[in-house]
Amino acid sequence: MASTMTDKILALAGTELKLVFRNRTVAVSSVLVPIALGLFWAFSLGGSDPRGWTLVIALQLAVTLGMGIYVTATQTVVARRHNLVLKRMRTSGISDTGLLGATVAPSVVLGIGQLVIFAVINAVFGAPLPSSPVPLVLALLAGLALMVAAALATTVVTPSPERAQVTTLPLVFVVLGAAVALLMLPLEGWWQALVALPGAGIGQLVRLAFAPGGEAGGLLPTLLAAFTVLAWAVLFGWFARRRFRWDPRS
């Protein structure tokens, strides 16, 4: 029985992945644009300064999570709800969690694929290896949790797939801005409030991953940065669980 359920979920996820590639708007805005931006940043900001590469990698990770995963997942879920696909699939025997997981899984797969491409690009341009890979892995995992939860929460206020381009913009800008701000601004005075913004922990984790030995500050800063990201993921997940709608919004 469990094997049959898993097969259904995997089949649905595979179908969703094909549909994403067939949608030219999504393919361009959520796949090609982030890759182009990541390539531009690597070329223009990389160089031989490790601090420049820290900024590049934070930008690449933030744009992949924001545009490649968050926007795509929001559009996909809203589109399937708008076309009554989600409502019909609830009678297929797949659990609600499995159904939503299969719907957003292609966005996650595409995002990870983009990050692999960025890793190759960065290696070609001479990016340094992280001095501590654990914060970088945590940035990815916590960021994935944040963006998937945020996507499901954003569907609550998104009436149509077309409007997803508008309703997702605020969080995309906040995540990008917060992730970069922690790398460029002195965390003194009121600037410290930026740490509480969604995505700020992602930039902080990238900085810790590439900090020279002895400057990372130990395990506590890593855990605190990951906590800020996961706290937002829990908040968005709670909101989505309470307010998610299976019927199309009018």
Domain boundaries, the chain: 2-243
| pLDDT digit string, tens, across residues 82-109 | 988 888 888 877 888 888 998 899 899 9
The CA-atom distances, in angstroms, between 179 and each of 152, 173, 199, 200, 233 are 22, 10, 5, 5, 16
Low-confidence ranges of the chain (pLDDT < 50): 1
Q: State how far the Cα of 139 lies from the Cα of 228, in Å rounded to an integer.
A: 11
pLDDT at 238: 97
Q: Is residue 52 within 8 Å of residue 59, measured between CB atoms?
A: no
Q: State how far the Cα of 54 lies from the Cα of 46, in Å rounded to an integer.
A: 9
Q: Is residue 209 within 8 Å of residue 131, measured between CB atoms?
A: yes
pLDDT at 229: 94
pLDDT at 192: 66
| pLDDT digit string, tens, across residues 118-152 | 999 999 888 888 988 999 999 999 999 999 999 99
Share of the chain above pLDDT 90, in %: 36
pTM exceeds cut of 0.85? yes
- Tokens encoding 40: 């531009």
